[in-house]
Amino acid sequence: MLDAVYNNPTKLIFGRGASAKIVDEITAKGHKKVLLLAGGGSIKSNGVYSDVTKALTKAGVQWVEVWGVKPNPVLSKVLEAIEAVKQSNCDAVLAIGGGSTADSAKAVAQGVFQEDPWAPYEGTAEITNALPVYIVLTISATGSEMNANSVLTEEVEQKKYHIINDLVRPVASAIDPAVQATLPWRQTGYGAVDAISHIMEGYFSGKGDEVSLAVSEALMREIIKSTDKLQLAESNYEARANLAWAATLALNGISSFGLEGDWATHGIEHGISAMHPQISHGAGLAVAFPAWISYTADANPALYDRWAREVWGQNGVETGVKAMKNKYQLWGMPVSLSQLGLCVADIKPIVENISRHDATLGTVKVLRAPEYEAILKLALE
């Protein structure tokens, strides 16, 4: 187990009716005017927008709205929102939506203090200040509601990069699992795959970290069970709640405590969705992770076999990978590049896209461009 520090000050408000309660946190900090950042409109149809804005009005908090954050969010929308913050003197940022909206809110929060808001994503500027961030989450997937990460795409050069900084960690986040019943099924599935992937990024780097490995296995099993239940009944509140909490725990530092982490598969996926933004992050991971597991399994056969046994009830890593792919397919997820609509000619440009930012990826095995290519080829069919 590596030496580690756990410090996650985000206040999490969880349960039925949680969305409007974010306003109590905003008023407790004395904010007078917030930027309300939103996506394509789902929050209007499921009532979350109405609940939150009624509470803002009642509390006397003013707000300015910016809509249109897309999945795989882009810099140009963040720049538009930064302009709105500056024009109207907002003193906090409130995201209502999924990881894309949350990550954009974090980008805005730090970006208002930067000459070039994109520079921290390139690693060419430090983040020294940020507006406070509040999140009302409507899809459980990324863990952005309780972590310090933001992933953003600079769409002209197709760069999908990230920042990790405590200044953009949300002050408070609200999760009402009931509002996730309006998700299209495939989005629930992508969210589950993303959460399982976050756990696996830590898990396979384990070296005697018994508690974190056991927590990780339990979380993966519960995500699978809850997602199966939701496929049968999308409004099953208990299953929504368990999936939501597990997804938060998957990337808030709990399950990965003391683990080195690998993150090569996320690096590879970000190359895929940078170049093909119509592909959801979870879909890219459903394709890339099985291939990465097969490619790296000889690095630690005992742990990979343990994963197959404890998570999938299978003997041996390859039968575990098969079980995972079967489950993903049953959920309607793609499991090959061809099912994502990509072919062998798409692989080289993706490898170049990744290599531009990351000459190496991973810790379980340190990968370079030829290995990115080999893994993507394994994922082809």
Helix then strand then coil, % of the chain, to nearest 5: 55, 10, 35
Residue 144 or 173: which CB sits closer to ligand NZQ?
Answer: 144
Helix (H, G, I), strand (E, B) or coil at 227: helix
The DSSP symbol for 361 reads B
Residue 213 or 251: which CB sits closer to Zn ion?
Answer: 251
- All residues at 6 or more sequence positions from 373 whose CB lies less than 8 Å from its CB, including other chains: 347, 348, 351
Q: How far apart are CA 371 and CA 349, in angstroms?
A: 14
Nearest of 16, 10, 71 to residue 39 by alpha carbon = 71
Residue 160 or 317: which CB sits closer to ligand NZQ?
Answer: 160
Task: Report what 173 binds from Zn ion, ligand NZQ, none; CB cut-off 5-8 Å by kind.
Answer: none
Least separation in angstroms between residue 102's CB and ligand NZQ is: 6
Task: Report what 10 binds from ligand NZQ, Zn ion, none; CB cut-off 5-8 Å by kind.
Answer: none
List residues near ligand NZQ by CB under 6 A: 39-43, 46, 71-73, 97-101, 103, 138-139, 141-144, 147, 149-151, 179-180, 182-183, 187, 190-191, 194, 251, 266, 281
Residue 132 or 362: which CB sits closer to Zn ion?
Answer: 362
Least separation in angstroms between residue 121's CB and ligand NZQ is: 12
Least separation in angstroms between residue 92's CB and ligand NZQ is: 19
Number of CB atoms found within 10 A of residue 59's CB: 13
Q: How far apart are CA 320 and CA 294, in angstroms?
A: 10
Q: Which of residues 85-124 bind Zn ion (CB under 5 A)?
A: none
- Shortest-Cβ-distance residue relative to Zn ion: 194
Task: Report what 187 binds from Zn ion, ligand NZQ, none; CB cut-off 5-8 Å by kind.
Answer: ligand NZQ
Least separation in angstroms between residue 151's CB and Zn ion is: 8
Q: How far apart are CA 180 and CA 248, in angstroms?
A: 14
> In terms of DSSP bridges, do strands 133-137 and 62-66 run parallel, antiparallel, or are they unpaired?
unpaired
Q: What's the start-to-end Cα distance of the chain, in Å? A: 37
CA within 13 Å, CB half, 293: 27
Residue 194 touching Zn ion (CB under 5 A): yes
Task: Report what 13 binds from Zn ion, ligand NZQ, none; CB cut-off 5-8 Å by kind.
Answer: none
Task: Report what 120 binds from Zn ion, ligand NZQ, none; CB cut-off 5-8 Å by kind.
Answer: none
Number of CB atoms found within 10 A of residue 229's CB: 16
Least separation in angstroms between residue 120's CB and Zn ion is: 19
Least separation in angstroms between residue 44's CB and ligand NZQ is: 8
**What does the block give as tokens for 175?**
């999760």
Least separation in angstroms between residue 129's CB and ligand NZQ is: 20
Residue 82 or 163: which CB sits closer to Zn ion?
Answer: 163
Ordered DSSP codes for 29-41: TT--EEEEEE-SS
Phi, psi of 65 (to 5 degrees): -105, 135
Residue 262 touching Zn ion (CB under 5 A): no
Binding site for Zn ion (CB under 5 A): 194
